[in-house]
Structure formats: structure tokens, C-alpha cells
């Protein structure tokens, strides 16, 4: 899982921003939101333009050079901070695999070009490379005879090793593969009018065709009923693809034609929900932009039940800020290039009975 993330000189983050998921409090409630001492379900609050979307893009920058999965390069036209004189954006990830810390850090000049790259496993550097000087190497067992120099300066050495080396079957190499698999299965997606995503898979599916051919149409119908949308669904083959229709006594209407923006957002969420058990880390930006409070809460509870998937949500809906849903160390406030959990923004000992939404609105968690 991701324990900690640091970013500097990327988009709006001129100074270093630290997102720490590794320090949960000893609450006796909301235990499903924490796994192995790491916050597994997090919700980020912040005003418009505070950086919630950019934080997601920063965390998922790693997908751009370590995987062959879907990439949203169009989201990175402005890469370096425009007020900084620094030449590189810097990123540092701390993961936990098999009880060991894995630190991966790198710098970039732009969205595609690495400047430096370093991987530490259990406190020891195992891969380090300087792309400007074209020098460095690896001590992973199985890379002794691997030429690290490459005419393609854009290629990550971690990815190069994964694709070209036959590594020995030892603990360090197993952790290396765990890291690469984790990053390969990260997923960022939007439930807004733009339906872009980054990571996990490659290419664009027909959402309704996937739902129907997965045999999930009835479950999708039940999901809509739980969301308060009491419609009957059917599917019709249209040019070889299954499409979903609302089924009425007098006929059928195409889902895409009749559904509201919120219902279309639910369809998109359900499509990704079918794949969420495959994902290692999911980041959903403004996940509830089209949802009412009860529906937003339903979505969060569904995600909490996915114990093996780390989930980060962004929202402005303070109605979700409740100890009955998550816990104070899982709610984060992003402002002024800083992000902290509500638990760390007050000296008050927070209990389950506290109304943290009321406290938040009253300014109890102001920095």
C-alpha cells in the first residue's frame, strides 16, 4: 500500500507537499478504513483550486513511466510550477510490501523525461540512475550483466529491469515485483462529464457492453434501485454491441438518451466498480459531483467494503464528514500547499460521538 507521498515543483505545488497515510490514530471505530497500520480509505476536502485534482495527477505521475496502461498526457500540459526557478519536479513514494518500506523517488523535467531515479528497499538503495549523466546501476540479483545505458533516455530503469532481466528468486526481488504490480494496477478516474481515466487497463471499453456481457445487468438494476432510481432495465444488441435500455410497458428508451447526468455518473462508477477488486489504489476526483447525500454515502460504504483496495476520494460535501462513515484520521484537509488529517489538525481528543462536520464548519480544524 501507499504509506506516504511527497511532491515538489509540480503544477500548483511549488513547495514540498507531504501526504502521510502512515499515522492512523488508535480509534476503536472505523477499523475497516485502516489496514496494516496504513489508512486504506481516505477522503480529501478542500476549496476549489486548492489542488485536489492536481494531487491525484501527482500521485499517478508514476503510472506514466512505469506502466503501459492508459495515460492522460493531456492532463499534464503545464508540468513544472510556474512560480519556481527549479528545473525539476520531484516525487517520492513510500510503499509497504511484505512488512518492508519501499521508497521510490525520481525527478522529471517534463511529463515524459526522467532526470533521476532511485529505489530503496528496506533502507538500502537497489537501483539508482542519473539520466542527465547517463550513469548508475542496480544491485538486484539478476541484473549483474544487464547494460543499464540506453539510447532511449526516457525509459525508466525500473521498467527496463522488469522487462529485460531474469531476477533471482529472493525477498528483495519479490518486493520489487510487488511494487511494479501495485503501480500497474493503480487507477485514477473521473465521474464528471469528462470520463477520462489513468492506469489499470489500456484502451476504451463500451461501458454498457461490458456490464451486460459480464452478466451484471440485473445487479446494475439493483444498484440503481438502492440509489433510488426505480427503473427496469433491458439490453438490446445494436451493431454487435449490447446497449442498456429503460424498459417500460409501451417500449424501451436508450439509457444514454433518458438518463440524467447523475444516473450516467452512476453507470460509469458501476463499470469501474466491477473492476475495483483488481485495483491496488483508486483515486476518484470529485466522486460525488452529481450525487445527493444518501447516494454519496452509499458509494463510500461500497468502497469501504473493498478491503484489499486502497481508495482516495476528493469531495466538497461536508455531509459525508461523519464518524459513522469513516474516522477523523481518514478525513484530510488540503489547503495552502499542505494536507493533514482532521485528527492532526486539533489538540482535542476526538471521539465517535463528536460531530466533526459541525466542528469543521466552525473552524476547529483550521491550520
**Residue 227 backbone phi and psi in degrees, to 5:** -85, 0
Q: Are residues 93 and 219 in the same domain?
A: no
- The answer to whether residue 275 sits within a structural domain is no
Any idea what the CATH number is for the domain that residue 168 is in?
3.40.50.300
The span from the CA of 361 to the CA of 138, in Å, is: 51
Given a contact cutoff of 8 angstroms between Cβ atoms, the answer to whether 180 and 202 are in contact is: no
Task: Tell me the C-alpha distance between 258 and 226, whole Å.
Answer: 19
| Residue 193: per-residue pLDDT | 57
Tell whether 272 is covered by a domain.
no
pLDDT of residue 10: 98
- Give yes or no: residues 193 and 219 share one domain: no
Instruction: For 122-261, list the strands marked E by DSSP.
Output: 124-130, 135-138, 186-190, 197-199, 233-238, 241-248, 251-254
Residues 324 and 236 in one domain: no
Q: Alpha-carbon distance 106 to 357, whole Å?
A: 38
Same domain, 163 and 96: yes
Range of the structural domain that residue 233 is part of: 208-264
Same domain, 47 and 196: yes
Q: Quick one: 116 and 216 in the same domain?
A: no
| Number of separate domains in the chain | 2
Each residue's pLDDT expressed in tens, for the chain with a length of 367 residues: 999 999 999 999 999 999 999 988 889 999 999 999 999 999 999 988 899 999 999 999 999 999 999 999 999 999 999 999 999 999 999 999 999 999 999 999 999 999 999 999 999 999 999 999 999 999 999 999 888 876 666 789 999 999 999 999 999 999 999 999 999 999 999 876 567 899 999 998 999 999 999 999 999 999 999 999 999 999 999 999 999 999 999 999 999 999 998 899 999 999 999 999 999 999 999 898 888 889 999 999 999 999 999 999 999 999 999 999 999 999 999 999 999 999 999 998 899 999 999 999 999 998 6
C-alpha 331/C-alpha 347 separation (Å) is 16
62 φ, ψ to 5°? -60, -30
8-state DSSP, 10: B
Q: What phi and psi, each to the nearest 5 degrees, are found at residue 300?
A: -60, -45
Q: Is the residue at 367 inside a domain?
A: no
Q: How much is the pLDDT for 6?
A: 98
Helix axes 217-226, 261-273, angle to 10 degrees: 130
Tell me, yes or no, whether 366 lies in a domain.
no
131 three-state secondary structure:
coil
Whether 269 maps to a domain, the answer reads no
Q: 177 and 95 in one domain?
A: yes
170 within a domain of the structure (yes/no): yes
Q: State the first-to-last Cα distance of the chain, in angstroms, to the nearest integer.
A: 28
Vertex 205, ends 203 and 207: CA angle to 5°? 150
Quick one: which H or E segment has residue 271? helix 261-273
Question: Is 76 domain-assigned?
Answer: yes
Residue 187 belongs to some domain of the structure: yes
For residues 218 and 195, membership in a common domain is answered with no
Please report the pLDDT score of residue 130 as a whole number.
95
Indicate whether 24 and 53 sit together in one domain. Answer: yes
Residue 151 has what pLDDT? 61
- Element holding 173 (H helix, E strand): helix 171-184
Residue 191 CA to its chain's centroid (Å) = 13
Tell which of 236, 264, 292 closes a domain: 264
What is the arrangement of strands in the sheet containing 338-341, beginning at the earlier edge strand?
A: 197-199, 186-190, 281-285, 310-315, 41-45, 331-335, 338-341
- Alpha-carbon distance values, 131 to 34, 150, 302, 349 (Å): 38, 10, 43, 48
Beta strands (DSSP E) in 109-238 are 114-121, 124-130, 135-138, 186-190, 197-199, 233-238
136 and 178 part of one domain: yes
Q: Both 166 and 220 in a single domain?
A: no
- Domain co-membership, 233 together with 188: no
Amino acid at each position: 500500500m501507499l504509506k506516504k507521498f511527497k511532491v515538489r515543483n509540480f503544477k500548483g505545488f511549488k513547495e514540498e507537499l507531504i501526504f502521510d497515510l502512515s499515522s492512523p490514530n488508535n480509534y476503536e471505530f472505523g477499523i475497516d478504513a485502516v489496514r496494516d497500520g496504513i489508512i486504506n480509505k481516505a477522503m480529501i476536502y478542500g476549496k476549489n483550486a486548492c489542488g485536489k485534482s492536481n494531487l491525484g495527477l501527482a500521485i499517478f505521475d508514476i503510472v506514466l513511466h512505469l506502466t503501459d496502461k492508459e495515460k492522460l498526457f493531456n492532463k499534464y500540459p503545464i508540468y513544472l510550477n510556474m512560480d519556481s526557478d527549479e528545473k525539476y519536479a520531484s516525487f517520492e513514494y513510500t510503499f509497504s510490501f511484505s512488512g518492508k518500506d519501499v521508497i521510490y523517488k525520481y525527478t522529471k523535467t517534463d511529463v515524459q523525461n526522467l532526470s533521476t531515479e532511485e529505489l530503496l528497499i528496506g533502507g538500502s538503495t537497489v537501483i539508482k540512475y542519473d539520466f542527465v549523466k547517463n550513469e548508475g546501476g542496480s544491485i538486484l540479483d539478476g541484473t549483474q550483466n544487464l547494460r543499464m545505458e540506453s539510447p532511449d533516455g526516457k525509459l525508466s530503469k525500473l521498467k527496463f529491469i522488469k522487462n529485460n532481466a531474469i531476477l533471482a528468486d529472493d525477498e528483495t526481488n519479490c518486493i520489487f515485483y510487488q511494487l511494479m504490480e501495485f503501480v500497474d494496477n493503480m487507477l485514477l478516474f473521473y465521474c464528471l462529464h469528462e470520463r477520462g481515466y489513468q492506469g489499470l487497463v489500456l484502451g476504451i471499453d463500451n461501458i454498457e457492453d461490458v456490464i451486460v456481457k459480464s452478466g451484471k445487468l440485473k445487479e446494475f438494476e439493483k444498484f440503481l434501485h438502492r440509489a433510488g432510481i426505480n427503473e427496469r432495465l433491458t439490453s438490446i444488441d445494436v451493431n454487435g454491441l449490447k446497449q442498456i435500455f429503460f424498459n417500460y410497458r409501451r417500449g424501451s428508451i436508450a439509457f444514454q438518451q433518458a438518463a440524467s447526468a447523475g444516473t450516467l455518473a452512476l453507470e460509469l462508477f458501476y463499470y469501474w466498480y466491477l473492476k475495483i477488486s483488481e485495483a491496488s489504489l483508486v483515486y476518484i476526483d470529485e466522486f460525488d459531483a452529481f450525487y445527493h447525500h444518501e447516494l454519496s454515502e452509499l458509494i463510500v460504504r461500497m468502497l469501504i467494503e473493498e478491503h484489499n483496495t486502497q481508495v482516495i476520494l476528493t469531495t466538497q460535501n461536508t455531509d459525508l464528514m461523519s464518524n459513522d462513515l469513516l474516522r477523523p484520521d481518514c478525513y484530510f484537509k488540503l489547503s495552502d500547499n499542505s494536507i493533514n488529517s482532521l485528527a492532526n489538525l486539533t489538540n482535542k481528543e476526538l471521539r465517535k460521538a463528536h460531530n466533526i462536520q459541525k466542528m469543521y464548519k466552525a473552524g476547529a480544524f483550521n491550520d
